[in-house]
Amino acid sequence: MNEQEAREQLQVLREQLNTYNYQYHVLDNPTVSDTEYDQKMKQLKELETAFPELITPDSPSQRVGGPPLEAFEKVTHRVPMLSLSNAFNEGDVKDFDRRVREGLGEETVTYVCELKIDGLAISLRYQDGLFVQGATRGDGETGEDITSNLKTIKSIPLRIKDHSAMEVRGEAYMPQQAFARLNEAREQNGEALFANPRNAAAGSLRQLNPQIAAQRQLDIFLYAVGEWESGTLESHSERLTYLQELGFKTNPEWRKCQGIDEVLDFVHEWVEKRAALSYDIDGIVIKVDNLEAQEQLGFTAKSPRWATAYKFPAEEAVTKLIDVELSVGRTGVVTPTAILEPVKVAGTIVQRASLHNEDLIKEKDIRIGDTVTIKKAGDIIPEVIQVVIDQRPEGLEAFSMPKECPSCQDELVRIEGEVALRCINPNCPAQLQEGLIHFVSRLAMNIDGLGEKVIEQLYRESYVHTIADLYRLEREKLLQLERMGEKSVDNLLAAIEKSKENSLERLLFGLGIRYVGSKAAKTLAAHFRTMEKLQAASLEDLIAVDEIGDKMADSIVQYFEDEKVQKLLAELKELGLNMEYNGPNLADISSDSIFADKTVVLTGKLTIYTRQEAKQQIEALGGKVTGSVSKKTDLVIAGEEAGSKLTKARELEIEVWEEEQLQTALEGDTTS
The mean-pLDDT minimum among 97-111, 149-163, 215-229, 420-434 falls in 420-434
Nearest-angstrom CA–CA distance, 400 and 388? 19
Which candidate in 116, 375, 645, 648 is catalytic?
116
**Considering the chain, what is the average pLDDT of its residues?**
87
Enumerate residues 6+ apart whose C-beta is below 8 A from 472. Answer: 575
Could you tell me if 250 and 244 are in contact, meaning their C-beta atoms sit under 8 angstroms apart? yes
- Whole-model pTM? 0.52
Which one is predicted more confidently, 198 or 556?
556
Is residue 381 predicted with pLDDT exceeding 70?
no
Nearest-angstrom CA–CA distance, 91 and 257? 18
Is residue 602 predicted with pLDDT exceeding 80?
yes
**What letter represents residue 579's amino acid?**
M
Nearest-angstrom CA–CA distance, 455 and 90? 50
What is the per-residue pLDDT across 22-72, written as a single tens digit (0 to 9) for each? 887 677 677 877 678 778 888 888 888 888 888 888 788 877 655 566 678
For range 212-226, the mean pLDDT: 92
Q: How confident is the model at residue 585 (pLDDT cuts 50, 70, 90)?
A: low
Which one is predicted more confidently, 104 or 37?
104
Question: Reduced to 3 states, what is the DSSP secondary structure of residue 156?
Answer: coil
Is residue 392 predicted with pLDDT exceeding 90?
yes
**621: phi then psi, degrees, rounded to nearest 5:** -105, 20
Is residue 419 predicted with pLDDT exceeding 70?
yes
DSSP string, 231-294: ----BHHHHHHHHHHTT----S--EEEESHHHHHHHHHHHHHHGGGSSS-EEEEEEEESBHHHH
The mean-pLDDT minimum among 22-26, 91-95, 254-258, 460-464 falls in 22-26
Sign of the CA dihedral running 53, 56, 61, 64: positive
Q: How confident is the model at residue 670 (pLDDT cuts 50, 70, 90)?
A: very low
Could you tell me if 638 and 644 are in contact, meaning their C-beta atoms sit under 8 angstroms apart? no
pLDDT on residue 672: 34
Percentage of the chain surpassing pLDDT 70? 94
For range 602-620, the mean pLDDT: 81
pLDDT on residue 377: 58
**390: phi then psi, degrees, rounded to nearest 5:** -70, -5
Nearest-angstrom CA–CA distance, 131 and 558? 55
pLDDT on residue 426: 67
Domains assigned to the chain: 3-63 (1.10.287.610), 85-311 (3.30.470.30), 316-391 (2.40.50.140), 429-499 (1.10.150.20), 504-574 (1.10.150.20), 587-666 (3.40.50.10190)
pLDDT on residue 586: 54
Helix 197-205, helix 176-188: angle, nearest 10: 80
Nearest-angstrom CA–CA distance, 55 and 47? 9
Query: Which residue, among 504, 481, 478, has the nearest Cα to 489 in the 3D structure?
Result: 478
8-state DSSP, 656: E
Going by their DSSP bridges, the two strands 85-87 and 307-311 should be labelled as parallel
The mean-pLDDT minimum among 199-203, 277-281, 474-478 falls in 199-203
Q: Which residues are bridge partners to 422 per DSSP?
A: 333, 413
Is residue 380 predicted with pLDDT exceeding 60?
no
Q: How confident is the model at residue 669 (pLDDT cuts 50, 70, 90)?
A: very low
pLDDT on residue 591: 59
pLDDT on residue 478: 92
Is residue 369 predicted with pLDDT exceeding 90?
yes
pLDDT on residue 588: 58
The yes-or-no answer on residue 256 being catalytic is: no
Report the Cα–Cα distance between both ends of the chain, in Å, rounded. 58
Sign of the CA dihedral running 214, 215, 216, 221: positive
pLDDT on residue 671: 38
